[in-house]
Structure 1
């Protein structure tokens, strides 16, 4: 079993902060933020259209079926993931779920934390994929909007259902049929990432904050409100509050939501747009209420009983990080076996207990309760049917829309 040596474990608040900052391409940026706000950098990339200027045909497809699978001869799988996104032993030296997989199957996992940003990672592998070459990776984890891009380019292999019996059976209904990958033909969720409302009860004087309308209009919150620098979450929640569906957002809907948030900026109701660096301000009470990522809030609540969250009655946003097999991967079947392993309740429970994001696997509650009863009872980690029904996702954007929407949001946030 190959793995990197791990640093000393961080405190829950430090870990929560680390897990997100990376997503926007900063070093306050250690993970979830990386994946969320990196969508903003898509303006520079310009969506699929920008690929043409790089000499990469926007719809250029390679013959994934032509690759040779060496899984039987080479009992290994090369797995690239984000940092702090896999369970680690208390001493920081082992990865229990991966090691258990190797013990059972004999398949060694070369696990590498080399994904710090969706666009940055895309830049690492696009030339190889465009040329029909092996990237050296059998399994990668990327955010839904980037997955949509790579699938549309024809750079991701279709998965074989015969190798995914647990995944097929245990995938939660909430995650089964995204518009960008109908029927999960090319992907399975690694974790769900709910965007909700969080508040510091001490900073709000004990008042509950549970709507975007409150964030944007309550004078008692003026100057102490945070919105996320991830377009899909901040705009998506605003759309829901306006009675619009992010799954079917039009250009006019988007403009109306931007105009509404702009009023909050102009009136100085909104303090700032953040990646996951809102966690420290929320913890201290400098931000009284904000749009937040659920996993951060679960972590913050461990140390601060004043941190609370609310699911707006209009609904909340959920995106996903997803497991995919790139074209020309040498060990596709081994990668599929590893995907399927993480859909077994025991392995999924170990992962959920460590990561604290929304688990996409049904039937995990009993196993998770053995590890952490509070986590098993937390709807942010194991959404019940009522909460799952209130989940919404931003629809896939074409290249032109992506560029235009992202530019408008960047103008709003000053990014």
Structure 2
């Protein structure tokens, strides 16, 4: 049952606290609806400042270093257990979250946060391949687009600097499984990435604008970004690698050293209202985990090929697990070499 946050409710809640009337959100770039923040400020009087990051590893390193000043962070599912293990997230008091029951059942007892003790849903989607079909009209449902680029795309391919996604796609491409510690498989992955890199243009994450402007012809990319590109540049299509592609969910948690805790709770409750969750999705073009939000979503998301996974590629999607530190150490070695 949805319970609406009103201005009166918010101000009453904050009246007894030494509220700073501000909130610091640390989130992925180009991922937060400005209209959502405006609405939140109108209803609560709380100003939200958003600081962007470009990868899970970047965010984790910043939070671990301390002195960051952030209240909320939005890690991907496979990173949430790392935050919890390191004591970086505050355990949630569900009594302070009237809308916690709006989370869709399949997103409640999730492997990375059983019972949603530390996080609530933000958005979920897939990592695949965005390709400008005016430059290449071949098969785009393969990771070969970036691991063995066709001649038409050599020097025009971008790879997002997200280790877990890229490493997992490369591992699945050679027949392995995410989190493998098989050294033979990892040597093959290392050599494959090293051989492919000279054929890439860049390793950046801001592809929505660059592919819209035809500055990049192909990229490892996220499905919502690809949909936003296509709406402005119909030549761009989204491919689901048959060898395997990541499925992910990003969730919001309150940091253990948050300064604006009351405000953070209000924000979490606010984004679990269906209409507000739909605002998040309508901006970034990803699905969310909030029941009832569908009726408020843009109609074009219901049939978009980037959102509604074609049946023939559905089984190739793999929800990335949290890899053990021993596996992450191996991947980091390969990634460090790749980034040099």
Shared fold (TM-score greater than 0.5)? Answer: yes
Q: 1:345 and 2:268 equivalent? A: no
Q: 1:324 and 2:253 equivalent? A: yes
Name structure 2 gaps, 5 residues minimum. 1-12
Give the Cα separation in 2 of the matches to 1:264 and 1:329: 39
Q: 1:303 and 2:232 equivalent? A: yes
Aligned twin of 2:140: 209
Partner SS state of residue 95, structure 1: helix
Distance 1:304 1:211, change over 3 A: same
Give the Cα separation in 1 of the matches to 2:15 and 2:57: 29
Offset at 1:230?
1.9
Q: 2:333 aligns with which of 404, 407, 410?
A: 407
Bigger mean CA offset, 236-245 vs 342-351: 236-245
Q: 1:148 and 2:81 equivalent? A: yes
TM score, norm. by length of structure 2: 0.76
Distance 1:382 1:191, change over 3 A: farther
Residues 47-69 of structure 1, C-alpha deviation per residue, up to 9 Å, x if partnerless?
xxxxxxxxxxxxxxxxxxxxxx9
Distance 1:407 1:324, change over 3 A: same
Give the conservation status (yes or no) of the 8 Å contact 1:81–1:111.
no
Give the Cα separation in 1 of the matches to 2:102 and 2:268: 13
Partner SS state of residue 396, structure 1: coil
Distance 1:267 1:332, change over 3 A: closer
Aligned twin of 1:78: 23
Aligned twin of 1:96: 38
Residues 203-255 of structure 1, C-alpha deviation per residue, up to 9 Å, x if partnerless?
11x33311124654575456254433322112212333444432xx22117x5
Q: 1:157 aligns with which of 90, 105, 113?
A: 90
The count of corresponding residues between Structure 1 and Structure 2 is: 324
Aligned twin of 2:48: 111
The correspondence of residues 39-78 of structure 1 with structure 2, limited to 5 A, is 72-74=16-18, 76=21, 78=23
Distance 1:275 1:163, change over 3 A: same
Give the Cα separation in 1 of the matches to 2:333 and 2:93: 38
Aligned residues: CA RMSD? 3.8
Aligned twin of 1:30: none
Partner SS state of residue 135, structure 2: coil
Residues 10-68 of structure 1, C-alpha deviation per residue, up to 9 Å, x if partnerless?
xxxxxxxxxxxxxxxxxxxxxxxxxxxxxxxxxxxxxxxxxxxxxxxxxxxxxxxxxxx
Partner SS state of residue 228, structure 1: coil
Distance 1:232 1:317, change over 3 A: same
Name structure 1 gaps, 5 residues minimum. 1-68, 103-107, 130-134
Aligned twin of 1:378: 304
TM score, norm. by length of structure 1: 0.64
Residues 314-350 of structure 1, C-alpha deviation per residue, up to 9 Å, x if partnerless?
4421334331122354664553342122122111111
Q: 1:251 and 2:193 equivalent? A: no
Distance 1:237 1:363, change over 3 A: farther
Partner SS state of residue 41, structure 2: helix
Give the conservation status (yes or no) of the 8 Å contact 2:226–2:306.
no
Give the conservation status (yes or no) of the 8 Å contact 1:240–1:315.
yes
Give the conservation status (yes or no) of the 8 Å contact 1:79–1:139.
yes
